[in-house]
Amino acid sequence: MEVIQLNKFYYPEVGGIEQVVRTIAEGMARRGHTSRVLVSVPHGRGDRDELGGVAVTRTGSLGVAKSVPLAPAFPVRLRQASREADIVHHHLPNPLSVVSHLTTPATDSPVVATYHSDIVRQRTTLRLYRPLLHRFLDDIDHIFVTSPRLLDHSDHLAPYREKASVVPLSIDLDEYGQYGGPPVDLPSDPDRPTLLFVGRLNYYKGVEYLLNAMPTVDADLVIAGDGDRRDELEARAGRLGIADRVHFLGYVDEERLHACYDRADVFVLPSVEPSEAFGIVQLEAMGYRIPVVNTDLPTGVPWVSRDGETGVTVPPRDADALASAIIELLDDPERRRAYGERARERVERHFGRGQMLDTMESRYRAIIEGDADAIESAVSAAQTTEARGP
């Protein structure tokens, strides 16, 4: 197959969807398919290169507005690429992809999209974008979602359930599970319990609520990640009198990140908005047999790590509930161990890298070949998974 992935940006730009696109693109290339990517640069002239066996085309951009690259050449490049592809795979939210598809003459290539999350923050812009999004979803051949909860709770997807199926995100289990690298100096006290948060410090991660929980929690907190709220969060830690046991590491490389997971006793994902649609960092922690405290968002977050099975789920924006859940786990080592073992087992059963690529590859083939029975089976499974869970 010749497959093209379309997104806003691509590696080395950092982001959750960017990593997913890279995983699929390189995974298809390793399986012998022709794998290409069409994206934009954040600003400046475009370029072409090859990374990991993937041909990457980056169109030029005048800059980014409302998180969308202003890339006037993108529709032209999409038209050229679509004529050569067996399947065209968009990743949403991405208004640039949507508008480009709607303004590009149709080809014979099937068009699919992975719907990663709703647009949450730009509510005014969404009123203008929504009709275009629905025209796009009407027009394409198939929709992938990363969890059954997203399919069940997204208002935008409700009219399209009959052509949507679930392909969960994944991690490479050979990389997550046991740290085998050299000793890494971490600021947390190895003789005290360690809590871990991994992610960008932005509006929807809810780290302020985790900090508000910390005065009653007898543990160190390691925060791996950077973002525009870091200064504000560091100041909050100071005001709360917990700066001596809250450690902001900023961006960490892979080796240091694995050392953080190896040190952690509890992983906390305190996200507060549906922009957190899956929380792949939960899988990374679960691969290390770490119990997870997450929040009950109407997305895949509490589906990935399940309350009472692999961790504890609490209401969003509730610092007291976060504190109680963390304290309960820290006070019960046997419960932590049991949740951690079940977390690893859950990832092995449902979220391995090979499983995701197998599923995506088979769905591509079914869509290209017009295998109605295989597509119907995938859609039916998506509509029943929410009730029983994987």
For 271-286, the pLDDT digits (tens) are 999 999 999 999 999 9
Residue 52 sits at φ, ψ, to 5 deg, of 55, 35
pLDDT, one tens digit for every residue, the chain (390 residues): 999 999 999 999 988 899 999 999 999 999 999 999 999 999 999 999 999 999 999 999 999 988 899 999 999 999 999 998 999 999 999 999 999 999 998 888 999 999 999 887 666 676 788 899 999 999 999 999 999 999 999 989 999 999 999 999 999 999 998 888 888 889 999 999 999 999 999 999 999 999 999 999 999 999 999 999 999 999 999 999 999 999 999 999 999 999 999 999 999 999 999 999 999 999 999 999 999 999 999 999 999 999 999 999 999 999 999 999 999 999 999 999 999 999 999 999 999 999 999 999 999 999 999 998 899 999 988 877 544 455
Q: Classify 296 as helix, strand or coil.
A: coil
The beta strand positions in 44-107, using DSSP E, are 47-51, 54-59, 64-65, 68-69, 87-92
Task: Please tell me the predicted confidence (pLDDT) of residue 123.
Answer: 63
> Percentage helix, strand, coil, to 5, in the chain?
45, 20, 35
- Quick one: pLDDT at residue 388? 44
Residue-range domains of the chain with CATH: 2-170+353-388 (3.40.50.2000), 194-350 (3.40.50.2000)
Nearest to 348 by CA among 283, 296, 290: 283
What is the spatial distance between Cα 216 and Cα 235, in angstroms, rounded to a whole number?
18
Tens digit of pLDDT for each residue in 245-267? Answer: 999 999 999 999 999 999 999 99
Q: What is the pLDDT of residue 183?
A: 82
16-32 b/e with 16+ CB inside 10 Å = b?
Answer: bbbebbbbbbbbbbeee
